[in-house]
A = this chain, B = another copy of it.
């Protein structure tokens, strides 16, 4: 079979996920165009063609998509109706618009899990804040906006009745806290032939205030039985969605040995950044393989890896400056990825660093040191 690198690929969203996807595609001569509302988006200088536009606009997405053979996304918050129209016109759109429609609404997403026998935490639908007081049995809980939550935004923690006033005055879900042992993630890929491959389970540690992943540990040290269960569950989720592309499934490993799906994202994901150096195939290459119906790559780990998100320092906003980079570069096995964002602001994702090696505990200790010594200021 002849491989044709001239296939035209367009991505909605021009952030770091798109950027790393484009970087990965370069090795196959694949050129990828990108659309983003930020004229200085991380993909701007790397995309074969960059359109500064509104990815939530029906007309703009339709006009952008018409130029490509395959259309994909690096963020869920896009105009799904335009993608459905592109699909009707014979374009390949992966993930499929119907999957995006379900996942981008956290209410529909949770209902999907219930309807398909996918274990998840207890929840109720909330239309206005007022209703929260009828569900105090679920506390402590998270009140999550059904749409447009992203990177820690759109989530309120409701620990006790005293917090009920923090709830959203908009369609949301109230989700009972899970008494979990570990937060884990499994990324699974599926191509049009139906081939599926899961990446090994990773463990996530969140920033205590920002609800952002702070550290990622690969591979997970959970018992093998639970790791198999988690990977099987990820396959079940992507199969039930009948989805083509990459799906990141965030899960809880509970203290009583259950695996519950927390939420998922039908795209490359922060919980797969370590795969660039830590696994034989990266999540970005796997995504490209999946949407082009190529053979999926071997996801095995090469060793242990710890990923650190490099966030903008809480006290600075403005032209980004980087401290501690040379010291980090002097450390063997440290791989830096800066995302090309000119401006920093508090907790903005500016880059990540992946430490690879043999001893996961040593890597964890080192990662905590680098988390302190690398500073993104202005």
Task: List the B side residues contacting A338 at CB < 8 Å.
Answer: 5, 27-29
With a 10 A CB-CB cut-off, give which of A27, A280, A321 has the most chain B CB atoms. A27
Our pick among B1, B31, B323, B335 for the contact of A45 (Cβ within 8 Å) is B31
- CB <8 Å contact, A297 and B329: yes
How many copies are assembled? 2
**A325→B332 CA distance, assembly (Å):** 33
Task: List the B side residues contacting A325 at CB < 8 Å.
Answer: 3, 28
- CB <8 Å contact, A332 and B300: yes
Nearest first, the 8 closest Cβ-Cβ pairs linking A and B are A3-B325, A298-B332, A295-B330, A29-B338, A3-B322, A27-B337, A29-B340, A295-B329
Mask: chain A, 334-373; 1 = CB below 8 Å from B; 0 = not: 0111111000000000010000000000000000000000
Mask: chain A, 1-31; 1 = CB below 8 Å from B; 0 = not: 1111100000000000001000100111101
With a 10 A CB-CB cut-off, give which of A1, A26, A337 has the most chain B CB atoms. A26
- CB <8 Å contact, B23 and A329: no
Task: List the B side residues contacting A339 at CB < 8 Å.
Answer: 29
Question: How close is A26's CB to chain B, nearest CB, in angstroms?
Answer: 6
Chain A contacts with B in 295-321, Cβ cutoff 8 A: 295, 297-298, 300, 302, 321
Indicate whether A28 sits within 8 Å of B336 (C-beta atoms), given known contacts A1-B326, A23-B23, A326-B3. Answer: yes
Q: Could you tell me how many residues of chain A have their Cβ less than 8 Å away from some Cβ of chain B?
A: 39
Closest Cβ neighbor of A281 among chain B residues:
B332
Closest Cβ neighbor of A23 among chain B residues:
B26
Task: List the B side residues contacting A298 at CB < 8 Å.
Answer: 332-333
Decide if A222 is an interface residue (CB 8 Å cutoff): no
Task: List the B side residues contacting A1 at CB < 8 Å.
Answer: 323, 326
**A325→B2 CA distance, assembly (Å):** 7
Closest Cβ neighbor of A332 among chain B residues:
B298
Question: How close is A290's CB to chain B, nearest CB, in angstroms?
Answer: 12
Decide if A139 is an interface residue (CB 8 Å cutoff): no
Decide if A48 is an interface residue (CB 8 Å cutoff): yes
Question: How close is A309's CB to chain B, nearest CB, in angstroms?
Answer: 15
Decide if A46 is an interface residue (CB 8 Å cutoff): yes
- CB <8 Å contact, A294 and B329: yes
Decide if A289 is an interface residue (CB 8 Å cutoff): yes
Task: List the B side residues contacting A321 at CB < 8 Å.
Answer: 2-4
Closest Cβ neighbor of A321 among chain B residues:
B2
Our pick among B3, B31, B337, B340 for the contact of A323 (Cβ within 8 Å) is B3
Task: List the B side residues contacting A289 at CB < 8 Å.
Answer: 329
Closest Cβ neighbor of A338 among chain B residues:
B29
Task: List the B side residues contacting A2 at CB < 8 Å.
Answer: 321-323
Chain A contacts with B in 25-77, Cβ cutoff 8 A: 26-29, 31, 45-46, 48
Closest Cβ neighbor of A323 among chain B residues:
B2
**A54→B241 CA distance, assembly (Å):** 54
**A359→B175 CA distance, assembly (Å):** 50
**A216→B188 CA distance, assembly (Å):** 34
Closest Cβ neighbor of A49 among chain B residues:
B45
Question: How close is A225's CB to chain B, nearest CB, in angstroms?
Answer: 25
Our pick among B3, B27, B329 for the contact of A335 (Cβ within 8 Å) is B27
Task: List the B side residues contacting A19 at CB < 8 Å.
Answer: 26
**A298→B356 CA distance, assembly (Å):** 12
Question: How close is A39's CB to chain B, nearest CB, in angstroms?
Answer: 16
